[in-house]
Amino acid sequence: MDKFVIRGGNPLVGTIRVSGAKNAALPAMAASILTEEPVILENIPDVRDIETERRLLVSMGAEVELGYGRAHHRTTLCCRKLVNPEAAYELVKTMRASTLVLGPLVARMGRARVSLPGGCAIGARPIDLHIKGLEALGARITQDHGYIEASAERLKGGSIFFDKITVTGTEDLMMAAVLAEGETVMENCACEPEVSDLAALLNKMGARIQGAGTPTIRIQGVDKLHGARHRIIPDRIEAGTFVIAGALTGGDLMVAHCEPAHLGALLEKLQQCGVNIRTNGDSVRVIGEGPFAACDMATQEFPGFPTDMQAQYMALATQAEGISIITENIFENRFMHAQELVRMGANIRVEGPRAIVRGKTPLSGAAVQCSDLRASASLVIAALVADGETILDRVYHIDRGYERIEEKLRSVGAQIRRIGEMFPRRAAAS
Ligand code: EPU
């Protein structure tokens, strides 16, 4: 298992480039199920979750072609012959977003068998709203041996009201409804940029979707979709992670190839904390002059402060003067990083959905463990300002969603290196 060794103290200076959004790329890849023709996706990040989704699509019979050289962020998917409409537990347990194939499989093949994901490190994360929505479109659903089976001759347009805002739920049902007979109206939808990006791709494929990016989405079903070429939006969470890292290290960092309009709530909050930020076109320049002021923050659905930036914000709060109350409203168990930050010297008390952070306390390098993707990012940020060396274990979590983060950070001055297993197991024969 790889580890990161990070020595803190260097300001991040220079330009760092943001990759394509993992959470937009995953549904876009699932959308390829909806057509027999090739779907060409540009700006696909080179991260583990994308690799998992490729494996999932290949297991169903998809042909996948990866670009190389300058085109190595291009993936071409062709689902001409789908033979196996199933997402097995082995894949779903490593990546919950595998459930995104449920809607497109029922829409295209009339049936799907998808493993129920179960809980994960950040909360229970049920998929009941995906299931309820499919039923509203006329699918028959059964549950057996830990799998959901859905079937329908052809889905029929219907009304869907989401009791709770769900990002992949909105995406899954949007993909189901595009091939349904008649009109579907979905209300209380997620407004995240990743939902709008998926709708843009689907419309290029011939779908008729209106209102994506607002709470009400209207979809006129069509008989068939065709191939398309689409560029995935930049990763707003990767961009935000770099902005916080630049600020906290006292650097002067240009976060390039991002979409500042997707970062509104985060940048506003950081400005309240006293971070010097300038946006220009597709880049954000952050100058970490400090001192930073404590500011309360509560996560919300887009356009609110993203839950995927909560952990990284907590790292910043440990270095802000005063008390910051951080409230997590989306997931019930997303404070696993707090205890690891405490091990590095932070003063944090968790009370239910709130974390009370008292700053500023000096951080010192320690051996810490990643518990999930964004928690890992917060520990990397903390390590970059800690005194001495931090050894970060289980970095496979970070590899799920950040493309070669250690190389990117090193290129702007961070002291970070990856080490593999120190004592590899001997080959069985020896
Ligand atoms: N929920 C239900 N029932 C459902 C679906 C969701 O109760 O059927 C609840 C969840 O338990 C949670 C809330 O609704 O409390 C919101 O969950 P949502 O469905 O929006 O989360 P998701 O779609 O599973 C996506 C991202 C997450 C991100 C969340 C929230 C992808 C692939 N994943 O997850 O990203 O945290 O939206 O913005 O898009 C990450 O990248 O690290 C990550 C976890």
Model pLDDT for residues 154-197, shown as the tens digit of each residue? 999 999 999 999 999 999 999 999 999 999 999 999 999 999 99
Pick from 53, 125, 373 the residue to mutate for probing ligand 1's pocket: most ligand atoms within 8 Å of its CB: 125
For the CA of 374, the closest atom of ligand 1 is: 42
Predicted confidence at residue 64, as pLDDT, reads: 96
How remote is the CA of residue 253 from the centroid of ligand 1, in Å?
A: 30
Predicted confidence at residue 421, as pLDDT, reads: 64
Pick from 22, 23, 47, 196 the residue to mutate for probing ligand 1's pocket: most ligand atoms within 8 Å of its CB: 23
Q: Is the pLDDT of residue 151 over 70?
A: yes
Residue 369: phi and psi, rounded to 5, are -120, 140
Q: If you average pLDDT over every residue of the chain, what do you get?
A: 95
For the CA of 331, the closest atom of ligand 1 is: 15
Q: Tens of pLDDT along 235-268?
A: 999 999 999 999 999 999 999 999 999 999 999 9
Binding site membership of 50 for ligand 1 (Cβ less than 6 Å) = no
Binding site membership of 397 for ligand 1 (Cβ less than 6 Å) = no
Residue with token string 């994360």: 125
To the nearest 10 degrees (0 to 180), the angle between helices 102-109 and 167-177 is 10
Pick from 26, 29, 162, 168 the residue to mutate for probing ligand 1's pocket: most ligand atoms within 8 Å of its CB: 168
How remote is the CA of residue 277 from the centroid of ligand 1, in Å?
A: 29
Q: Which helix (H) or strand (E) holds 374?
A: helix 373-385
**Mean pLDDT of the 307-318 span:** 98
For the CA of 132, the closest atom of ligand 1 is: 8
Predicted confidence at residue 333, as pLDDT, reads: 87
**Mean pLDDT of the 121-145 span:** 92
Residues 233, 213: Cα–Cα separation, whole Å: 14
Binding site membership of 205 for ligand 1 (Cβ less than 6 Å) = no
Predicted confidence at residue 422, as pLDDT, reads: 56
Predicted confidence at residue 123, as pLDDT, reads: 76
Enumerate the active-site residues.
120
By the 8 A CB rule, do 44 and 400 touch?
no
Residues 348, 284: Cα–Cα separation, whole Å: 29
**Mean pLDDT of the 211-215 span:** 98
Contacts of 168 (CB under 8 A, 6+ apart): 27, 96, 97, 99, 100, 130
Q: Is the pLDDT of residue 112 over 70?
A: yes
Binding site membership of 308 for ligand 1 (Cβ less than 6 Å) = yes
> Residue of the nearest CA to atom 25 in ligand 1?
167
Binding site membership of 166 for ligand 1 (Cβ less than 6 Å) = yes
Contacts of 130 (CB under 8 A, 6+ apart): 99, 102, 103, 166, 168, 169, 172, 173
Rounded-to-5 percentages of helix, strand, coil across the chain: 35, 30, 40
**DSSP-assigned letter for residue 307:** G
Q: Is the pLDDT of residue 286 over 60?
A: yes
**Mean pLDDT of the 66-92 span:** 92
For residue 119, name the pLDDT band (cuts at 50, 70, 90): low
> Two tokens at 269?
């909050």
Residue 312: strand, helix, or coil: helix
Provide the residue type at 146 as one letter.
G
Binding site membership of 119 for ligand 1 (Cβ less than 6 Å) = no
Predicted confidence at residue 430, as pLDDT, reads: 34
**DSSP-assigned letter for residue 97:** G
Q: Tens of pLDDT along 16-63?
A: 999 999 999 999 999 999 999 999 999 999 999 999 999 999 999 999
Q: Is the pLDDT of residue 426 over 70?
A: no
For the CA of 131, the closest atom of ligand 1 is: 8
Q: Is the pLDDT of residue 427 over 70?
A: no
> Residue of the nearest CA to atom 10 in ligand 1?
125
> Residue of the nearest CA to atom 11 in ligand 1?
125
By the 8 A CB rule, do 361 and 336 touch?
no
Binding site membership of 130 for ligand 1 (Cβ less than 6 Å) = yes
Q: Tens of pLDDT along 358-381?
A: 999 999 999 999 999 999 999 999
For residue 404, name the pLDDT band (cuts at 50, 70, 90): very high
Binding site membership of 168 for ligand 1 (Cβ less than 6 Å) = yes
For the CA of 332, the closest atom of ligand 1 is: 15
